[in-house]
Structure formats: structure tokens, C-alpha cells
């Protein structure tokens, strides 16, 4: 029996990435409070939120295999979230210029009916160029990445902001590490091929 697969996310980026697996899936909002806990590291925050998102939807659909994911931009141990607007995005990119960030991209797969739970994280090391204020403004006007952790879309013009990307899971920077997700789905009994 092939179980229903559900993506516990409202992110259009994660939805687009998951379609690459050519697997039928549903999408449901996890409605999870994403506020960091006191003293929580960006790594721990991403892992906790990925699992909480998967669990929140799995409770409603216990027979389904549910994927939760979260990404936190980690600047020297400080979590940078989605900027939400132009002013915050400008401030983020100014702080990030010339810096190395780790984008902590976590994924969790849960099926309540089988008691299946796995989680993993795909850290992505990203080196930002030393950007001028004019370059930052031009980029933000062009792409308006206000719904992206770290204020940049590497799959678009944001790639021009970077000196390098280092990752063992290429889709992780966009928001869903598909290599790890595929591994977990197979372990949960979902036939991808």
C-alpha cells in the first residue's frame, strides 16, 4: 500500500522542489510557532521546527507520510530569519556582506501509523561577496526576496551575491534537501522509482 505523502509547509519553494521527485503529494499548513527558544542554536532551531511541522500535520493525517522542513540562516551562531520587508532585507544583506553563513536546512519525515520518525540536517556553507550598498539595493529591487531566510534566492539573481556554496545536498539551499528527503521517504516505505 502506497501511503499518501504530505508536505507540511506553505513554502512555494519547498513545493516546487518536491515536485522534482514526480511523486503525488498533498500540501497542508503546519501552523507551528516558529519563535526560537531561549539559547537555541540555529542548528537546533531548524531541526526542532522541521520535526514540529511534520508532527503537527501527522497528527491530523496519521496514515500519511509527512515531510516537515525548516531553514535557518546562521551568521556566527545568530539565527537570521525571513526579513519580511525591504528595510530588514537591506539590513540583513549589509550584515552578511563578506561573511560566511551556514544555512541550516533540516528535514523530518513522520508517519504516526507506523511510528516512523527520522530527521536530518543539510548544512550549506555560503560565502557572500563584499557587496556595496548599491548592489544590495539593485538586487532587492530586482528579486524582492523578503520570504527567504537570509534575504537571497540562490536559484535566481541571488547567485550573483555569492562567492561560493558548499553542500552535499544541492537543493538544500533552496529549502528542502532532496537527497536526504528521498532517503527518508524510502525508509518510510515510499517507492520513488
d(CA 73, CA 31): 21
Q: How far apart are CA 69 and CA 191, in angstroms?
A: 20
C-alpha cell at 171: 537543493
The answer to whether 190 touches 116, Cβ cutoff 8 Å, is no
163 catalytic? Reply is no
Q: Which of 44, 70, 168, 191 is catalytic?
A: 70
Question: Residue written as cell 555560503?
Answer: 126
Backbone angles phi, psi at 130, to 5 degrees: -80, 90
CA atoms of 102 and 75, how far apart (whole Å): 7
Catalytic residues: 70
Amino acid at each position: 500500500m502506497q501511503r499518501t505523502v504530505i508536505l507540511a509547509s506553505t513554502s512555494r519553494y519547498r513545493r516546487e522542489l518536491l515536485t522534482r521527485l514526480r511523486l503525488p503529494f498533498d500540501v497542508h499548513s503546519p501552523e507551528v510557532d516558529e519563535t526560537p527558544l531561549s539559547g537555541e542554536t540555529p542548528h537546533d532551531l531548524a531541526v526542532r521546527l522541521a520535526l514540529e511541522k511534520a508532527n503537527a500535520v501527522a497528527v491530523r493525517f496519521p496514515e500519511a507520510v509527512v515531510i516537515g522542513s525548516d531553514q535557518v540562516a546562521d551568521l556566527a551562531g545568530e539565527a537570521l530569519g525571513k526579513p519580511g520587508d525591504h528595510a530588514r532585507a537591506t539590513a540583513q544583506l549589509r550584515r552578511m556582506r563578506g561573511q560566511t553563513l551556514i544555512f541550516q536546512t533540516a528535514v523530518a519525515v513522520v508517519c504516526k501509523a507506523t511510528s516512523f520518525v527520522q530527521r536530518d540536517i543539510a548544512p550549506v556553507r555560503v560565502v557572500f561577496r563584499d557587496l556595496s550598498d548599491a548592489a544590495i539595493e539593485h538586487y532587492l529591487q530586482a528579486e524582492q526576496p523578503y520570504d527567504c531566510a537570509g534575504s537571497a534566492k540562490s536559484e535566481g539573481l541571488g547567485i550573483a551575491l555569492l562567492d561560493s556554496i558548499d553542500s552535499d545536498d544541492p537543493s538544500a539551499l533552496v529549502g528542502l534537501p532532496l537527497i536526504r528527503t528521498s532517503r527518508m521517504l524510502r525508509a518510510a516505505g515510499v517507492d520513488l522509482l
